[in-house]
Chains A and B, each alone.
Chain A
């Protein structure tokens, strides 16, 4: 007999290891993080119990109570109460606790019990607790709470065996256990009473060692030092950006020569004509010039994932809270903004952890100013073509330094914009509180890092294969048609649609030093910023005709003045054109207005910055 799908829901406080348990149960490709509240989206996975029962499990956003003070926490509350629209009422709620830190979870559990749902307490990270000398009387805890209690070690193979067994036992007799919901929002007195009750139960069932985690204390003594902590933070960011340049270089050169060889091969094999031009100039040089940046994107995600899993992100928020507060930002905005260095889209989505509407809106508006990984191809290309690769003061790479400067410019303008928003638009406003748990440090797990990076790399490659590819076909088409008349002496591209469009836009962009080739490249850059590089590659490759095998960077170095190159860099600090970011802003703010505001202000800033850069550079003789 086929039993119906068993619905499980994972509930717990932030940092309880809910997501790692979810991964262990379902083997799904999710990321694990330490930052409170990172689990913002609905995540469902499936598995089969040892006795063959099909199970669906939903990983709910972390919460400290069922009051639902943010959209995330409302989801958790409604889901558990069976009030979430379109969701099945969970058959069994797994309340996940960090065994080293039971206090807040037990209070939450006492509140959850009132919902009448069948429930199990899962003592996760039981190995870490044991190592620290924390002993839990599991049987007594189960008796006090009136619930089954099971231990688990989510990150170890077989660490969830007991939980799986228990799930089978419980599912066999579930129907008899359903109780009426008696939960309603708790008053302050009731909250206090539940916390007291939780403390009493813990005092009875758990023996804590006299010393807390010494490693966390030792690390925090350095990284949370008022001055030293900021130095460490700056150092981490600096190393990250140097690494993006220095470590990725050999791999990028390898990929580059690979695509060059492929292009040569196509050129040599196919007869001259449209097909040859399409494959070599449109597909290989276009898509290839974007895929080359995969190593850099992997490195930047490696850093972000490591810092998240280690537990450093909450510390960074702590260090930055007052500094960002000066610019009208909440400390919690630091994580979304840092994620935006990888891509503004997950960054903007991560703003859901900010429960105050105004703080959230400000963060969304400035997130696209953080230098996302899609800008790296553009920066890299121009920097390597125009900035000499020499060392400054003997050990700092000048190219890396310029890159650092561009990132810094993005950050500074984001802070300035935020300050202006605070000053002009949303003045009468008391700052929202900053309350954040600083979790104990945890060794990042190789598996979760690998899964995280793999997911990102796949996303990037899929984008390169779809959006970027179709844009490249379009650009190639525009740059190749109409064909020049017979006997024409000028380069073929001068007769194309691309030249017509580019030249029509040229007067607008001439004051910032952009030629018509750049104007053409900026249009498909709307789909994805990095496409601009590929588009330049295609335009110049077709213009260059048969001698186009040389690298796009070398071409630019001969075709552009230094002033134009610097102006392009300044443009890309702001670079308003990214259709997917704008779409996410519309979705997350629920308003076309805020999307239009973002686009307009970034366009104005980009134009102004380029205008200034170009004219200063020309005045200094770089024209």
Chain B
């Protein structure tokens, strides 16, 4: 399902607006500047279902700095801060 999105520019999910829908292209923990190590952050994201090919939709965002965001990942909803969502590259 990723090839249909090849024409769209890749961007980190951390910059996505509410209503954005896309497909995860890759995880890149180095871009996130999270308190977690790259490996730990990537592991946690995978455990919550953020893997390549998963459909994501930004459902809600918080009041202060539009943060955190509630993201639909295939069949579940995960709340995550934008800082960590920068590691998720979508298109």
Interface set of A (CB-CB < 8 Å, partner B): 64-65, 67, 69, 100-101, 103-104, 107, 186, 188, 191-192, 195-196, 199, 208, 212, 216-217, 220, 224-227, 229-230, 314, 317-319, 321-323, 325-326, 331, 356, 429-438
A191 near B47: Cβ-Cβ < 8 Å: yes
Give Cα A149 to B60, complex, Å: 36
B78 near A438: Cβ-Cβ < 8 Å: yes
* Given A192-B51, A224-B59, A323-B64, also A433-B84 (CB < 8 A): yes
Chain A residues whose C-beta falls within 8 Å of the C-beta of B59 in the assembled complex:
217, 220, 224
B70 near A224: Cβ-Cβ < 8 Å: yes
Nearest B residue to A325 via CB reads B64
Selected contact of A433 from candidates B39, B61, B66, B83, CB within 8 Å: B83
Min CB distance, B26 to chain A, in Å?
A: 11
Q: How large is the interface on B (under 10, 10 to 19, 20 to 34, 35 or more residues)?
A: 35 or more
Interface residue ranges of B37-69 to A (CB < 8 Å): 39-49, 51-53, 59-68
Give Cα A224 to B72, complex, Å: 14
* Given A430-B35, A433-B84, also A192-B46 (CB < 8 A): yes
Chain B residues whose C-beta falls within 8 Å of the C-beta of A331 in the assembled complex:
68, 79
A433 near B44: Cβ-Cβ < 8 Å: yes
Selected contact of A195 from candidates B34, B49, B80, CB within 8 Å: B49
B34 near A433: Cβ-Cβ < 8 Å: yes
Chain A residues whose C-beta falls within 8 Å of the C-beta of B72 in the assembled complex:
212
The DSSP consensus for interface residues of chain B is: mixed
B35 near A322: Cβ-Cβ < 8 Å: no
Which 10 residue pairs are nearest across A and B when measured between Cβ atoms? A430-B35, A322-B64, A224-B60, A64-B47, A226-B63, A438-B77, A318-B79, A436-B79, A191-B46, A433-B84
Give Cα A107 to B44, complex, Å: 13
Chain B residues whose C-beta falls within 8 Å of the C-beta of A220 in the assembled complex:
59-60, 70, 77
30 A-B contacts, Cβ less than 8 Å apart?
Answer: A103-B74, A104-B48, A104-B49, A188-B39, A191-B47, A192-B51, A195-B46, A199-B51, A217-B59, A220-B77, A224-B70, A230-B63, A318-B68, A321-B79, A322-B64, A322-B67, A323-B64, A326-B64, A356-B35, A431-B35, A432-B36, A433-B35, A433-B36, A434-B79, A434-B80, A435-B48, A436-B78, A437-B78, A437-B79, A438-B79
Flag whether B10 is at the interface (Cβ < 8 A).
no
A191 near B43: Cβ-Cβ < 8 Å: yes
A318 near B48: Cβ-Cβ < 8 Å: no
Selected contact of B60 from candidates A67, A199, A225, A321, CB within 8 Å: A225
Which interface residue of A188, A217, A325, A432 has the most chain B CB atoms within 10 A? A188
Give Cα A192 to B42, complex, Å: 10
Min CB distance, A68 to chain B, in Å?
A: 12
Chain B residues whose C-beta falls within 8 Å of the C-beta of A199 in the assembled complex:
51, 53
Chain B residues whose C-beta falls within 8 Å of the C-beta of A225 in the assembled complex:
60
Nearest B residue to A107 via CB reads B47
Chain B residues whose C-beta falls within 8 Å of the C-beta of A438 in the assembled complex:
70, 77-79
A437 near B76: Cβ-Cβ < 8 Å: yes
**A104-B76, A437-B76 known, 20 other contacts, Cβ within 8 Å:** A101-B76, A103-B74, A104-B49, A188-B46, A192-B51, A195-B46, A195-B51, A217-B59, A220-B77, A226-B61, A226-B62, A226-B63, A226-B66, A227-B63, A321-B62, A322-B65, A323-B64, A432-B36, A433-B34, A435-B78
Chain A residues whose C-beta falls within 8 Å of the C-beta of B77 in the assembled complex:
216, 220, 437-438
Give Cα A191 to B50, complex, Å: 11
Selected contact of B43 from candidates A67, A230, A434, A436, CB within 8 Å: A67
Give Cα A89 to B13, complex, Å: 43
* Given A196-B51, A227-B63, A322-B67, also A65-B43 (CB < 8 A): yes
Interface residue ranges of B2-35 to A (CB < 8 Å): 33-35
B49 near A103: Cβ-Cβ < 8 Å: yes
Nearest B residue to A326 via CB reads B64
Chain A residues whose C-beta falls within 8 Å of the C-beta of B35 in the assembled complex:
356, 429-433
Which interface residue of A192, A208, A435 has the most chain B CB atoms within 10 A? A435
Chain B residues whose C-beta falls within 8 Å of the C-beta of A217 in the assembled complex:
59
Selected contact of A103 from candidates B36, B44, B76, CB within 8 Å: B76
Chain B residues whose C-beta falls within 8 Å of the C-beta of A322 in the assembled complex:
62-65, 67-68
Give Cα A430 to B36, complex, Å: 9
B47 near A208: Cβ-Cβ < 8 Å: no
Chain A residues whose C-beta falls within 8 Å of the C-beta of B41 in the assembled complex:
433
Chain A residues whose C-beta falls within 8 Å of the C-beta of B40 in the assembled complex:
69
Nearest A residue to B61 via CB reads A226
Chain B residues whose C-beta falls within 8 Å of the C-beta of A191 in the assembled complex:
43, 46-47
Selected contact of A65 from candidates B47, B51, B70, B76, CB within 8 Å: B47
Which interface residue of B34, B46, B52, B66 has the most chain A CB atoms within 10 A? B46
Give Cα A576 to B35, complex, Å: 34
Selected contact of B75 from candidates A103, A192, A230, CB within 8 Å: A103
